[in-house]
Amino acid sequence: MPSRAELLRELRLRVGDAAVLDAPPAELLTDQRGLYQGAVAAVVAPQSTAQVASLLAYCHEQRISVVPQGGNTGYCGGATPDASGSQLLLLLSGLKAIRAVDPDNYSLTAEAGCILATIKQAAAAAQRYFPLALGSEGSCQLGGNLSTNAGGLNVLRYGMTRDLVLGLEVVLADGRVLDTLRALRKDNTGYDIKSLFIGAEGTLGVITAATLKLLPQPLASATAFVAIPSPAQAVALLARLRAVSGERVASFELIPRIAIELTTRLIAGVADPLDDSSPWYLLVELTSSAADEQLNACLDQALEAAMNAGEISNASVAQNERQRSDFWRLRESIPAAQRRAGASLKHDVSLPITALPRFVAVASAWVAQHVPEGYLVAYGHVGDGNLHFNITASGAGEALLRRQAEIKRVIHDLVHEMHGSFSAEHGIGQLKLEELERYTDPVELELMRTLKQAFDPRGILNPGKVLRNAK
C-alpha cells in the first residue's frame, strides 16, 4: 500500500485534481439505511471509461481495494467501504453520457452514472420506453441498477434489469476493458459473460456503460386500488386479470392496512383511496402500447367478476391521471413512511406466488406471537411473488434490533423450507453474507467463489461483499 500522499498524487495524475475528493461528504461513507459506517483512503470520481481503466490498473498493481458506488440507494451496504480506511471509493456519477439512442432498433446506450430517471426521459424523448421502475429512480444510477439486478414495480411484465440488457462495457480488476456493447437481440457467441456482471454488486468488474432494450411506450393504462380480505385473493385476482388481459398486467402490488395508516399519517399529500377499511389492498395496473385499447373495460370486467365471487370487497378505478398518480404516490411512499415510523427489520423474500398466502399466514402468526417489540409491515410486488416482509419497532427500536439475528433466522428458514429466496431483489452486499452461505446450494457457492477468483484474483473488487473475503 503506498503512503496516502503517494496515493493521492497517483490518483490525481490519472483523473485530474478535481476528480479526487480530499474530504468526502459523510453520506458517501454510510449506506442509506444507516446500517454501516465506512472509512476510505480516498474518493475518486472519474469522468470516463479510460480513467476508470487507468485507476483499476493502478489499484491492481498496488493491491488497493476498490468499492464502486452509484446512487448509494442500495439496501444491503454494498456500496459502503469497510472501516479500515484503506479502500478507494469509486464514484461512477461522472460517467453520465447517453451515448446513443436508436429508436428503430429499440435500443439505447448509456454510461453507468446516468440516473435511472434520466434514461427513462431520454427513451421517452425518442417515443420509446425504458420500463425499469423503482421508487428510487430519481437518485439510483444505471450501474447500480445493473449491479444489483434491480427489480421494482413492473417486473411482472418487463422482467428484472437483467432482462433489459443487450450489452455491457466493464472495466476488469486489472484495468482491461471488456466491450460487449452490441445492440443485438440474437447473439449466441459462446458463454454469456456480460450476464455475470449483472447482480454481481461490483465484485467482478466495474460497469461503465450498457446497451439497453427499449420498448414501445405505454399509451393506455387502467389502474385500480382494490380491497381484499387476505393475500389468497391476490392470487385469484391475478389469474382473473391475466385471463382477460394477458400480458397487459404490468403491476400487481400488495399493500397492508398498516401501510395506509403510516403513509397517510407520515407523508404529506397521501390519502386513503377507499372509504372503508380492509386488511389488505392491491394496486393493479394494466398498460398497453395501443392507444385505443379499452383497458378500463377489461379491468372493470375482472373486478366485477371478482366482486361477485366474493374475492374483493371494494375497488376504486382511477378516473384520471391525478388519481392514478395518487395511488402510486401512496405505494411508493411506503419505504419512507416506514423509515419515519422508526427502526425496522427488512426481509426481501420471494416465493412461488401460489405459496405466498401460506407463507404470510404462518410468518405473520409467528411475528404476532413472538415479536411484541414490533409490528408487521408486509408489502410488495406480489405479482412477482416478492414481499418486503418488514417489521417496524413499536418503541424506540433497540429491543427489536437486538433480536434481529434470531427473527431473521426464523423468517428466512421458513422461506427456505418453502423453496423461496431470502433476497428477491435487493442483493447480498455485506448484510446477507451469512444467509448466502446458509441457504445456497454448496456447488453453486463453490462456483461463485471460482468465478470471483477468476475475475479478481487479487481480491481488490468490493471485497467482503456478496462473498466473504478469502482467508
Contact status, residue 166 vs residue 428, Cβ threshold 8 Å: no
Of 129-137, 184-192, 235-243, 356-364, which segment contacts ligand FAD by CB under 6 A?
129-137
- What is the rounded CA–CA span in Å between residue 307 and residue 316? 12
- Residue closer to ligand 2HG by CB (options 324, 388) is 388
**Is residue 462 a contact residue for ligand FAD (CB under 6 A)?**
yes
Cα distances (angstroms) measured from residue 92 to each of 72, 162, 342, 408, 434: 11, 20, 31, 33, 28
Give first-to-last CA distance, the chain, whole Å: 19
What DSSP string describes 303-365?
A: HHHHHHTTS-SEEEE--SHHHHHHHHHHHHTHHHHHHHH--EE--EEE--GGGHHHHHHHHHH
Which of ligand FAD, ligand 2HG, none does residue 349 bind to, with CB < 5 to 8 Å depending on kind?
Answer: none
State the cell numbers at 144. 447500480
Binding mask 406-425 for ligand FAD (x = CB under 6 A): -------------------x
Which of ligand 2HG, ligand FAD, none does residue 157 bind to, with CB < 5 to 8 Å depending on kind?
Answer: none
**Is residue 388 a contact residue for ligand 2HG (CB under 6 A)?**
yes
- What is the rounded CA–CA span in Å between residue 425 and residue 349? 8
Identify the residue among 38, 46, 94, 143 touching ligand FAD (CB under 6 A): 143
- Residue closer to ligand FAD by CB (options 91, 222) is 91
C-alpha of 401 from chain center: 23
Identify the residue among 15, 36, 58, 71 touching ligand FAD (CB under 6 A): 71
CB of 115 to ligand FAD, least distance (A): 8
Site for ligand 2HG in 301-340 (CB under 6 A): 334-335
Which of ligand 2HG, ligand FAD, none does residue 390 bind to, with CB < 5 to 8 Å depending on kind?
Answer: ligand 2HG
Q: Phi and psi of 66, rounded to 5°? A: -125, 130
- What is the rounded CA–CA span in Å between residue 66 and residue 381? 33
> What does the DSSP 8-state code read for residue 115?
B
HEC string of 156-221 equals HHHCCHHHHEEEEEEECCCCCEEECCCCCCCCCCCCCHHHHHCCCCCCCCEEEEEEEECEECCCEE
Identify the residue among 380, 420, 427, 429 touching ligand 2HG (CB under 6 A): 380
**Is residue 33 a contact residue for ligand 2HG (CB under 6 A)?**
no
Cα distances (angstroms) measured from residue 143 to each of 113, 198, 206, 255, 432: 6, 9, 8, 29, 21
- Residue closer to ligand 2HG by CB (options 20, 259) is 259
Give the residue ranges of DSSP H helices in 37-192: 49-62, 116-125, 142-148, 155-158
Binding mask 123-152 for ligand 2HG (x = CB under 6 A): ------------x-----------------
Which of ligand 2HG, ligand FAD, none does residue 465 bind to, with CB < 5 to 8 Å depending on kind?
Answer: ligand FAD
Identify the residue among 46, 68, 131, 273 touching ligand FAD (CB under 6 A): 68
**Is residue 390 a contact residue for ligand 2HG (CB under 6 A)?**
yes
Position of cell 421502475? 133
- What is the rounded CA–CA span in Å between residue 140 and residue 287? 25
Of 6-14, 97-105, 131-139, 415-423, which segment contacts ligand FAD by CB under 6 A?
131-139
Which of ligand FAD, ligand 2HG, none does residue 92 bind to, with CB < 5 to 8 Å depending on kind?
Answer: ligand FAD
Identify the residue among 49, 109, 145, 390 touching ligand FAD (CB under 6 A): 145
Which of ligand 2HG, ligand FAD, none does residue 287 bind to, with CB < 5 to 8 Å depending on kind?
Answer: none
Contact status, residue 106 vs residue 214, Cβ threshold 8 Å: yes
CB of 440 to ligand FAD, least distance (A): 18
| Rg (alpha carbons) of the chain, rounded to whole number | 23
Q: Phi and psi of 189, rounded to 5°? A: -115, 70
- Residue closer to ligand 2HG by CB (options 346, 412) is 346
Instruction: Kindly report the number of other CB atoms within 10 A of residue 158's CB atom.
Output: 21
Which of ligand FAD, ligand 2HG, none does residue 90 bind to, with CB < 5 to 8 Å depending on kind?
Answer: none
Which of ligand FAD, ligand 2HG, none does residue 263 bind to, with CB < 5 to 8 Å depending on kind?
Answer: none
Q: Strand 128-129 to strand 20-21: parallel, antiparallel, or no bridges (unpaired)?
A: unpaired
Site for ligand 2HG in 342-361 (CB under 6 A): 346
**Is residue 71 a contact residue for ligand 2HG (CB under 6 A)?**
no
What angle, rounded to 10 degrees, do the helices at 295-308 and 231-245 form? 140
**Is residue 49 a contact residue for ligand FAD (CB under 6 A)?**
no
Site for ligand FAD in 286-315 (CB under 6 A): none
**Is residue 75 a contact residue for ligand FAD (CB under 6 A)?**
yes
> Residue 284 forms beta bridges with which residues?
224, 252
Residues that bind ligand 2HG (CB under 6 A): 135, 334-335, 346, 380, 388, 390
The residues that touch ligand FAD, with contacts defined as CB under 6 A, are 32, 67-75, 78-79, 92, 112, 134-136, 140-141, 143-145, 147-148, 150-152, 201-202, 206-207, 335, 425-426, 429, 462, 465
